[in-house]
Amino acid sequence: MGYGQKVKNWFFEDENEDLSNEFDMLEDVKPTSQFETPRSPKTSEAVKALNANRDSHLVLFEPRAYSETQDIATYLKQKRAAVVNLHRLQKEQSKRVIDFLSGVIFAIEGDIQQIGPKIFLCTPKNIGVSGNITMEPGEEEQ
């Protein structure tokens, strides 16, 4: 082995060994975050189920007139959930909107829930909702 080869090996062989040792050490590293690996197979199955149902969306509506209610019904028929904020409507128009949406929800076998004063969650049959939101007396009539 010539002098040049010895110098080359001295400079570069150590680096290659260091890199290979670093790669070996990286393979042995365990995840440090709870988000890096699923805790159980059920977790990864839930994520797969969410990714499989990409066509379900939550759409927010704030109608300013009763005529906009048909747009909400169209989204519900497309199996999308809708949050409807009725703060901009008068009391009589709000009642008409809720009556119309109740009919749409009945037709698509969905669900409608009040989640706040003048705020409603409308969901089609393919989207489940769990939990309850309780309101104080008088909060519903604001």
- What is the residue-averaged pLDDT of the chain? 76
Q: Which one has a higher pLDDT value, 19 or 57?
A: 57
Q: Please give the backbone phi and psi of residue 47, each rounded to the nearest 5 degrees, phi first.
A: -65, -40
Strand-by-strand arrangement of the 119-123 sheet: 58-61, 81-85, 119-123, 111-116
pTM over 0.75: no
Q: Does the pLDDT at position 68 exceed 90?
A: yes
Task: Determine the Cα–Cα distance for residues 36 and 39; give it in Å rounded to an integer.
Answer: 9
Q: Residue 93's closest CA among 71, 120, 64?
A: 64
φ/ψ (deg, to 5) at 81: -80, 150
Using only the alpha carbons of the chain, give its radius of gyration.
29
**Choice between 11 and 63, residue whose per-residue pLDDT is larger:** 63
Mean pLDDT of 42-60: 60
Whether residue 61 contacts residue 72, with contact meaning beta carbons closer than 8 Å, is answered with: yes
The band of 17, judged by pLDDT with boundaries at 50, 70 and 90, is low
What is the C-alpha separation between 125 and 78, in angstroms, rounded?
11
Residue corresponding to tokens 């909060």: 139
- CA atoms of 63 and 71, how far apart (whole Å): 9
Q: Which position has the token pair 């890096």?
A: 36
pLDDT of 52: 53
Quick one: what percent of the chain has pLDDT higher than 70?
60
Structural domains for the chain: 3-48 (no CATH), 56-123 (3.30.110.150)
- Condensed to tens digits (0 to 9), the pLDDT of residues 86-132 reads 999 999 999 999 999 999 999 999 999 999 999 999 999 888 877 77
